Amino acid sequence: MGEKGKKSKTMSKSPSAAKEHKEQLERLQKKDPEFYQYLQQYGKDLLTFDDEDEDFDDDAEVDMEDAENQLDDETYQHDIPEEEEKPSKNVLTTEMVNSWCKSIREDEKLSAVHSIMKAFRTACHYGDDTGTDSSAKFAVMSSSVFNKIMLFTLSEMDRILRKLLKLPASGGKKETIIELMNTKQWKNYNHLVKSYLGNALHVLNQMTDTKMISFTLRRLQYSSVFLAAFPSLLRKYIKVALHFWGTGGDALPVVSFLFLRDLCVRLGSDCLDECFRGIYKAYVLNCHFVNASKIQHIQFLANCVIELIRVDLPTAYQHAFVFIRQLAMLLRDALNMKTKEAFRKVYEWKFINCLELWTGAICTYSSEADFRPLAYPLTQIISGVARLVPTARYFPLRLRCVKMLNRISAATGTFIPVSMLLLDMLEMKELNRPPTGGVGKAVDLRTTLKASKLILKTRAFQEACVISVVEELAEHLAQWSYSVAFFELSFIPAVRLRSFCKCTKVERFRKEMRHLIRKIEANDDFTNERRASVTFLPNDNAATSFLEDEKKMGTSPLSQYVTTLRQRAQQRNDSMMESSVLVGEKSAVFGKKLDQIPDSDEEDDIKNDDGATVFSSSWLPGGDSRANLPKEEEKKKKKKKKKKKGMEQDEGVGDDEDVVEDLVLSSDEDEDEEDTAEEDGNEEQLGGSRQQNKKQKPKNLSNKNVRSHHHAKNNKSKKRKRAKLN
C-alpha cells in the first residue's frame, strides 16, 4: 500500500510540472519570437512535451550509467507490450541478456556494457538482504539467466575493460596501472573495473562448487593486474585465494596458487610480503597432523611455497630467516626449560613439517647466493631436534631428521656428520635384542614421530628402524664415496657396524649389516686404488676433481648399492600406501594438478565450453545451496563429513602420541610405568563415556518415534500369532 501511495504522488506531480513548462514556453514566444522560431526549426524535441514522458523513467536508475544507458533502457521498454512493462523492470530475462551480449560483441555499445555490469552485480548479490534499497534495478532472475550472466561477464569483461582503457590484450605490470590512473580513460571507466572485481569477490565467498570457484579464479587471473589500483580489494583477494589453496579440493588449490603467483609476479612489492606470510601461515595450519592420506597433500603445499619463493629470492630470504629463527627459539626454550610443554612444541608435526619445508627450499635454491646462507642455521636446528630426547621411542623422529640432513648435504655439497646419530641407535638394547612383543603391524615411519611402548617391542618396529638406519647410513657414505678421504671417513662407522654384528642376537640384522660392511670395504678399495697414484696434497684444489668422471657415471660400489636400497624403499612405501585409505589422492599431487590446468592459449579456445559446463547448475547465491544441489553431490558431501569426523578422531590420537611424556634420557624399559597406567585410565574413561552415550541415545528420540516403534513391534507380534494359528 505504501509503494502504491508513493507512485500516485509522483504521478500527480507530473501534470503540474508539464503545465508549468508549457507556460514558460508561451512566455518565451511572447518575449523573444525570433529565438522561438529558431527552436521550431532546429530543436523541435525541446518544444514537444507530453505528460507521459515525465513519468517514463521514474524507476530508472542512474547509479553508474550515462545517457546512452538510459536511452538503451527506453528503447527496450518501448519494444515490450504494455502488459509486461511493469514486471520487466524487476525481472531479468534471457532475451535481455542476449540482446546486451549481442550489442557488446557486434556494436560494442557502452550502454550494453553498463547494463550487463548492472546485471552482474545483481547476480553476485542475488539473495542478499537489500532491505528497501531503491537502487536494486533487477530483483528476480532464474538460474539459467544467472549462469549466462556469469559466463559472459567472466569470459569477456577483461577484454572489454582493456579495450576501453587502451591496454594490451593481456599481461601488464603495476607500473602500467599507475601510469593509467592519471589518464582520462581511467577516470571515466575505473568504476567498471572496481565493480567487476568487487562483485566477483563477493560471489566467490558465496560459491560452494569447486568447479565454479576454479573457473571464476582462472578468469579473474587475467584481470589481476587491475588490483594494483585497489589495495583493499587486493588484500581481500589474497585472503580468499589462500583459503581456497589450503582447503580446496580437485584442481582448486592449483588454480588458487597460480592466481597468487600471478599477483606476486605482476604487482611485486605490493603483495609479496603479505603473500609470503599468508602462505606460510596457511601451510602451518594444514600440517598439524600427518597420516597416509595427508602425506601427498602436505608435500603439494610445501612445493607451492617453494615455488612462490622463486618469484623474489631476496625478499623470500628475509621472511625465511625470520621463520627459521622462530623454530630456533622454540628449540632453545626446550633445551633450557626442559618442561613437557616446551618439549611438546618441538616434538609435534607442525614443527617437523616446517623443518621439512625449509629443507626443501634450501635444497631447491642451494646454488643461489641469496638462500644458501640459511643452510647452516637450519642444519644446527635439525641436529638439535634429533638429539633433544635420545630415547628409542623417538627413533622415527630421529630418522626423519637424519633424512633431512642428508638432503641438505647432497644439495649443498657440504659434509654433515650424521653417522653418529645413526650408530648410536644401533647400540640401544631395543634394536640389538630379540623382540618380546610379537610380530606386530607394519610401521610406517613417515607417519610416526613417537612409538608407543607396545609397538617398541615388536619385530616390525625393530626391522623398520634397522633397515632405515642402513639406508640413511648408506646414503650418507655414498655422497662421499668419491672423496679422497673416504677411507678415513668410513673407518669409525665400519668398526661400529662390526661390533653391532657381534652384539646383536637377531640373525637377519646381522646379515643386513654384513652386506653394508662389504660394500664399504669394496668402496675403500675403489678409492685407495686411485689415491695411490695421485700427487696432490689434501689441501690442494685438485682434490675436488678426484674421481670426478666416475662420480658423474655413478660407478662406485656404494652408489650402486644405494640405488637398490632406494628401489626397495620405494616398493615398501608403495605397499604402505596401497594398504591405507587415501582420501583425495588425486587432489594431492602437485604435478597432476598442474597438468590439469591448460595453458593460456589453449584456455582461450576452450573457455566457453569449460564455462558452459561449469555454470550449468541450478545454484544461486544467497539461497540454500544444499537444496539446489543434486542428490549425488549431497551424498558425496555426507561421505566427506563422515571421513572428516574419522580424521578428527585420528588427529586427537596423534596429538596425544606427540606429547612428550618421558623426559629421562635413558632406555624406556628403565622408566616408570606411569604412562601405561595413564593409558589404561584414559581407555577406561573413554569406554565409560561411550557407554553413557549409548545409554543416552534413546532419550533423544521423540514421543512420536517411540510410539511408532512400539506400534511396529505390536504389529509384528500379531502377525506371528496369526501365522501360528494358521
pLDDT: is 155 or 437 the higher one?
155
Average confidence (pLDDT) over 673-679: 42
pLDDT at site 691: 43
- The percentage of residues in the chain with a pLDDT greater than 90, rounded to a whole number, is 41
pLDDT at site 435: 81
Q: Tell me which range, 66-80, 271-285, 431-445, 520-534, is most confidently predicted by mean pLDDT.
A: 271-285
Contact present, 282 and 246 (Cβ < 8 Å): yes
For residue 66, pLDDT over 90 is answered with: no
pLDDT at site 52: 37
Q: Go through the chain and tell me how many residues it has.
A: 726
pLDDT band at 266 (very low <50, low <70, confident <90, very high): very high
Mean pLDDT, the chain, integer: 76
Q: Which residues fall within 8 angstroms of residue 384, CB to CB, at 6 or more apart?
A: 331, 335
Q: Which residues fall within 8 angstroms of residue 330, CB to CB, at 6 or more apart?
A: 342, 345, 346, 351
Buried residues in 399-433 as b, exposed as e (16+ CB within 10 A): bbbbbbbbbbbbbbeeebebbebbbebbebebbbe
d(CA 462, CA 506): 10
pLDDT at site 401: 96
Tens digits of residue pLDDT in 421-458: 999 999 888 887 888 888 888 888 888 999 988 898 89
pLDDT: is 78 or 188 the higher one?
188
The three-state DSSP-derived secondary structure of 67-94 is: HHHHHHHHHHHHHCCHHHHHHHCCECCH
pLDDT band at 4 (very low <50, low <70, confident <90, very high): very low
Pick the range with the lowest mean pLDDT from 89-103, 567-581, 597-611. Answer: 597-611
pLDDT band at 9 (very low <50, low <70, confident <90, very high): very low
For residue 14, pLDDT over 60 is answered with: no
Pick the range with the lowest mean pLDDT from 28-32, 162-166, 383-387, 720-724. Answer: 720-724
pLDDT at site 28: 75
Domain ranges of the chain: 90-127+136-253, 268-389, 414-536+546-577
DSSP string, 79-144: HS-GGGHHHHTTB--HHHHHHHHHIIIII--HHHHHHHHHHHHHHHTTTS---S-TT----B--HH
Backbone angles phi, psi at 91, to 5 degrees: -110, 130
Q: Hey, how many other C-beta atoms are within 10 angstroms of the C-beta on 179?
A: 10
Contact present, 519 and 557 (Cβ < 8 Å): yes
Tens digits of residue pLDDT in 142-151: 888 888 999 9
Q: Which amino acid makes up residue 601?
A: D
Q: Cell numbers of 109, please?
A: 555499445
The three-state DSSP-derived secondary structure of 607-651 is: HHHHHHHHCCCCCCCCCCHHHHCCHHHHHHHHHHHHHHHHHHHHH
Tens digits of residue pLDDT in 546-572: 888 888 888 899 999 999 999 999 888
pLDDT band at 92 (very low <50, low <70, confident <90, very high): confident
pLDDT band at 93 (very low <50, low <70, confident <90, very high): confident
Average confidence (pLDDT) over 128-155: 73
Residue found by looking up cell 566477483 in the block? 200
For residue 525, pLDDT over 70 is answered with: yes
Q: Cell numbers of 433, please?
A: 635384542
Pick the range with the lowest mean pLDDT from 43-57, 176-190, 207-221. Answer: 43-57
For residue 244, pLDDT over 90 is answered with: yes
Q: Tell me which range, 87-96, 221-230, 592-601, is most confidently predicted by mean pLDDT.
A: 221-230
Helix 94-102 / helix 110-124 crossing angle, nearest 10 deg: 140
d(CA 213, CA 190): 25
pLDDT at site 139: 62
d(CA 622, CA 418): 58
Contact present, 263 and 227 (Cβ < 8 Å): yes
Buried residues in 251-289 as b, exposed as e (16+ CB within 10 A): bbbbbbbbbbbbbbebbbebbbebbbebbbebbbebbeb
| DSSP-derived secondary structure letter, 140 | B
d(CA 665, CA 390): 6
Average confidence (pLDDT) over 195-207: 93
- The percentage of residues in the chain with a pLDDT greater than 70, rounded to a whole number, is 69
Q: Tell me which range, 309-323, 435-449, 526-540, is most confidently predicted by mean pLDDT.
A: 309-323
pLDDT band at 30 (very low <50, low <70, confident <90, very high): confident
307 burial (CB, 10 Å; 0-12 / 13-18 / 19+) is middle
pLDDT: is 166 or 381 the higher one?
381
pLDDT: is 709 or 566 the higher one?
566
| Threshold 0.85, pTM exceeds | no
Q: Hey, how many other C-beta atoms are within 10 angstroms of the C-beta on 474?
A: 22
For residue 56, pLDDT over 70 is answered with: no
Q: Tell me which range, 139-148, 341-350, 704-713, is most confidently predicted by mean pLDDT.
A: 341-350
Q: Which residues fall within 8 angstroms of residue 469, CB to CB, at 6 or more apart?
A: 399, 422, 425, 426
d(CA 150, CA 63): 21
The residues that bridge with 140 in the sheet, in sequence order, are 91
For residue 87, pLDDT over 80 is answered with: no
Q: Which residues fall within 8 angstroms of residue 497, CB to CB, at 6 or more apart?
A: 423, 426, 513, 516, 517, 520
pLDDT at site 47: 59
Contact present, 678 and 662 (Cβ < 8 Å): no
Average confidence (pLDDT) over 335-346: 92
Tens digits of residue pLDDT in 610-637: 667 777 777 777 654 433 444 444 555 5
pLDDT at site 714: 53
